[in-house]
């Protein structure tokens, strides 16, 4: 049942309604449907930071009502990963959401309306996994979702089964919330693109594929470090080395741009041999330098991967045809990486390609 609170659909000053069951959420959604109000949705695992709040602001700007879910999903953690210690900060999360608002112009008048999050969905595990759940995939029972050919690449190589858990829980949340629009962060670019494919392949209407939005990564204004809930694991000294991955990706991007801007003999092919290796090597050099320097301060840095992948298939790119990545209507390239700083695993990415293609991806 829903706990005490005033729904955003009620008269007067709205407060965030706390909903802790599927039944209560469906009743809330039915009221929204009857009032013909569109619903934005931001799924999270809690431990909210400004990156999450950016997603909520985007939803508030684009929808009359906004639902934020907080659910630490057991199915996307392997038995050796940090499910038990994953940060849980519900009281702080609710305080942040209650204090969040945006002013949106009213049409056709020049007035504005203030929008705040309408509801926070905090389901128990038993509601999300009626057949029970364990982090051991071999022992799991019930219905699960896989996006074959996509979930095994990039992050999937380092974290087998991760995207099976992500796809399953997000589809459940989509079925429960039935959002008009949904919002995800670019930091987890593979997740966002994989979920777009899921909505397309399974013919979802709430949200439709074009209404699954990927919002640019929120970064520390000084260091460029991508905000992440796992950043709170970093010690003060480790935090000074955490931006290493972002600097490495920037070096890779610079090399990519040099390759793409290089003059091409009009009588020769536009194929650039070894482009991937040159970009990856440029990024890796930055990390290797940091590894040696960080050791002097007692900080361990260990790269997991630096890679270039196509945005549509997640396959590793080989040689590059400039026509394929510099023309409108073509596909983009993901320059991504994962880096261990101490015991904390950080991920980040940059989308490369024609500006219009990048805009279609990050929208």
Name, in order, each residue with C-beta under 8 angstroms of 184's C-beta and a sequence gap of 6 or more: 43, 55, 191, 192, 195, 212, 213, 214, 215
Of 242, 250, 226, 220, nearest in space to 297 by CA: 242
* SS (HEC) of 24-40: HHHHHHHHHHHCCCCEE
Active site residue 52: yes
Of 26, 357, 58, nearest in space to 206 by CA: 26
> Which residue out of 10, 52, 80, 213 is catalytically annotated?
52
Of 192, 142, 150, nearest in space to 172 by CA: 142
22-34 vs 162-177: helix axis angle to the nearest 10? 50
Q: Distance between CA atoms of 52 and 96, rounded to whole angstroms?
A: 10
**Bridge partner list, 308:** 335
Q: Distance between CA atoms of 132 and 199, rounded to whole angstroms?
A: 25
Q: Which residues are catalytic?
A: 52
């Amino acid at each position: 049942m829903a706990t005490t609170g005033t729904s955003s659909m009620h008269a007067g000053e709205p407060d965030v309604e706390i909903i802790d069951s599927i039944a209560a959420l469906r009743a809330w959604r039915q009221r929204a449907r009857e009032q013909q109000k569109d619903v934005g949705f931001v799924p999270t695992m809690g431990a909210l930071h400004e990156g999450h709040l950016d997603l909520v602001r985007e939803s508030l700007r684009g929808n009359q009502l906004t639902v934020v879910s907080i659910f630490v999903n057991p199915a996307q953690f392997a038995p050796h990963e940090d499910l038990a210690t994953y940060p849980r900060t519900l009281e702080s999360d609710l305080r942040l959401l209650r204090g969040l608002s945006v002013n949106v112009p009213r049409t056709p008048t020049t007035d504005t309306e203030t929008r705040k999050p309408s509801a926070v969905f905090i389901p128990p595990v038993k509601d999300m996994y009626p057949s029970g759940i364990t982090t051991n995939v071999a022992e799991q029972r019930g219905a699960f979702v896989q996006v074959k050919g996509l979930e095994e690449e990039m992050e999937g190589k380092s974290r087998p089964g991760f995207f099976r858990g992500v796809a399953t829980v997000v589809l459940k949340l989509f079925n429960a919330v039935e959002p008009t629009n949904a919002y995800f962060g670019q930091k987890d670019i593979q997740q966002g693109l994989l979920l777009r494919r899921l909505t397309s392949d399974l013919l979802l209407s709430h949200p439709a594929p074009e209404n699954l939005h990927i919002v640019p990564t929120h970064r520390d204004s000084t260091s460029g470090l991508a905000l992440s809930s796992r950043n709170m694991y970093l010690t003060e000294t480790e935090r000074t080395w955490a931006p290493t991955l972002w600097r490495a990706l920037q070096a890779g991007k610079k090399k990519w741009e040099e390759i793409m801007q290089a003059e091409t003999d009009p009588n020769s092919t536009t194929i650039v041999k070894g482009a991937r290796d040159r970009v990856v090597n440029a990024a890796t050099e930055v990390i290797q330098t940091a590894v040696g320097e960080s050791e002097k301060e007692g900080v361990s840095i260990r790269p997991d991967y630096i890679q270039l992948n196509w945005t549509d298939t997640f396959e590793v790119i080989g040689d590059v045809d400039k026509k394929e990545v510099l023309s409108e209507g073509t596909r983009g390239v993901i320059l991504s990486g994962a880096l261990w700083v101490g015991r904390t695993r950080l991920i980040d990415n940059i989308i490369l390609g024609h500006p219009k293609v990048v805009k279609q991806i990050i929208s």
